[in-house]
Chains A and B, each alone.
Chain A
Amino acid sequence: PSSALPPYFMKGSIIQLADGELKRVEDLRAEDFLQSADLSGELKIDSSTVERIDSSRTPDAVIIQFSVGEHKTQVCVEVLVEYPFFVFGQGWSSCCPHRTTQLLALSCARLSVGDVCISLTLKSLR
């Protein structure tokens, strides 16, 4: 099952920020994402609030409904319960932090309704 998650969430993975700086995934902060998006020109960080977390028909998956950006656009995503999102003021968070830590060694908080996650949109879409 761990192969279903992307490799870059594994603790110790090296992440390159937009200014070229290298950081480990577990050391990333909200500022790193915001500054990188600023530098990128094309990408914009949105605040996406978790509105609902529902079980899925797919085993080990959940359906998360987000309210995205200033227009509060409703977007649903289906992800594995261990899939980590970056929450403002909290850091990496998943629906099943125990499983995330077990599979990725990444320290995780529990993702809950009301949490504000970092997400991306294209500037040109606005």
Chain B
Amino acid sequence: VPVFPWHSLVPFLAPTQSD
């Protein structure tokens, strides 16, 4: 049975600087 790490389930919303 595969086991997945918890952080796979959370989107990584890295702030990107647009300016």
Interface residues of A (CB under 8 A from B): 6-9, 13-18, 22, 25, 28, 32-33, 36-37, 40, 43, 45-46, 48, 66, 68-69, 71, 73, 75, 77, 85-86, 117-122, 125
Contacts and interface: CB of A to CB of B under 8 A. Distances in A.
Nearest to A13: B4
A118 B6 CA distance: 12
Contacts of A17: 6
B13 A48 contact: yes
**Secondary structure at chain A's binding surface: helix, strand, loop or mixed?**
strand
A13 B14 CA distance: 26
A61 to B, nearest CB: 15
Contacts of B7: 36-37, 40, 43, 120
Interface in B1-19: 1-16
- Which of B5, B6, B9 is the most central at the interface, judged by chain A CB atoms within 10 Å of its CB? B6
A119 B12 contact: yes
B9 to A, nearest CB: 6
11 contacts: A13-B4, A14-B1, A17-B6, A37-B7, A48-B11, A66-B13, A68-B15, A69-B15, A75-B14, A75-B15, A119-B12
